[in-house]
Amino acid sequence: MNDIIKFPFYAKTTLILVGLIAFSFIFYAGQDILIPVMMSFLFAILLFPVVQFLKSKLRFPHVLAVMTAVILFVLVFIGLFVFLSFQISDFVNDFDKIERNITIHLNNIQGYVRDNFHLSSREQKQYIDTAAADSVEKGKEIIGTTLMSFTDTIMNLTLIPIYTFLILLYRTHFLLFLSKLVDRKNHEQLKDILTHIRVAINSYIVGLIIELILISAMTTIGFMIIGVKYAILLGVVTGILNLIPYIGILFAGFLSIVATLTGSPDLSIIIGVIVITIIVQLIDNNIVVPLIVSSKVEINALISIVGIIIGGAIAGISGMFLALPILAIMKVIFDRIEPLKPWGYLMGDDLPKTYTWRKIKLPLFDSEEPNHKVIVQTAAIAPVFTETTTENIDLKNN
């Protein structure tokens, strides 16, 4: 019997919501296992063009091409880590200056409070000691959690290259597995989904890398102009932390303010750091992200923010970082499965991006004029599902 059971709207909606809740619970319960695997999946998509280049242009065997790509990937991170380590070691040597300059600012703040709120230095010290005593236990818990998180991070940094290598090595094997799960008449639809997932994720990650470079460069130049010591270190750190939505840039700004105290206690330098950080963020949020990052993943701002908050609640910083790629994958799937298309449209962003005013293109935000004429074309290669080994796979264009 090939009878198709049709559920009413409320039943379909309920099943979809139950599925999303179940997915969220599984992700929360198994985050220690799933997060490294999902990170590796993203990096595998990023490295796939490198593997294809090594195989097609340099005639590398499949295993050697995958190994070379992963080793190059690891070496880039090791180089960045070594650079930051040398810079941080110099920064630590100036800790005495930081402490001395912080004391100067604290004395100035105490003087301001004493003059305007009529609290003596002794009374202020009592308030601070009371607050510090109440937070000792919380501080111990935070330190313990941080150490555990650091241990988990080291473990993940070891596992991610291994997972990435294995995902690339057995890529064809996994594709054939998916083809066996899906009815043959739906293979074209499956190929379309997989191809667009790879294009969307690869473009998104490349966009993040470009954003990291631009933010690092702009911050470094700005800090150099106002005379901040360790401008290069702070610029790179700001670019990296900016990848963490919301809290990353706040922590980067605080770190930059503290680092300025290695050179001078002058308050104008701190104000300059704040101004530079705000200017860079305005450029990032209004120019870099819309043109480079958001254009790669067509998710509207409301869904993006809600998804990032949910990801952070479920899996912390890693969940916030993975939220947008997961949403992009969900949207690609929803857009290509008929019953889920309304949800894909809900997640999408079909507003016109620009309008022309006096021959100048400006951003357009008008929900009354949806852009239904956007056609995305790509020369991406779609996999052909054939019985073959993981070392060889026939490819053809869509």
- 306-319 per-position pLDDT tens digit: 888 888 888 877 88
Lowest mean pLDDT among 33-42, 70-79, 143-152: 143-152
**What predicted TM-score, i.e. pTM, was given to this entire model?**
0.72
For residue 215, give both structure tokens: 């933010």
Using the predicted structure, report yes or no on whether residue 392 has a pLDDT greater than 70: no
Q: Which amino acid is located at 166 in the chain?
A: L
- 197-245 per-position pLDDT tens digit: 888 888 888 888 888 899 999 999 998 888 887 888 888 888 888 887 6
Burial of 101 (0-12, 13-18, 19+ CB in 10 A): buried
To the nearest whole percent, how much of the chain has pLDDT over 70?
Answer: 69
Using the predicted structure, report yes or no on whether residue 169 has a pLDDT greater than 90: yes
Structural contact between residues 197 and 205, judged by C-beta atoms closer than 8 angstroms:
no
Tell me what the pLDDT averaged over the chain comes to: 76
Residue 98: band (very low, low, confident or very high) from pLDDT cuts 50, 70, 90: low
Q: Provide the β-strand partners of residue 362.
A: 355
For residue 235, give both structure tokens: 């610029």
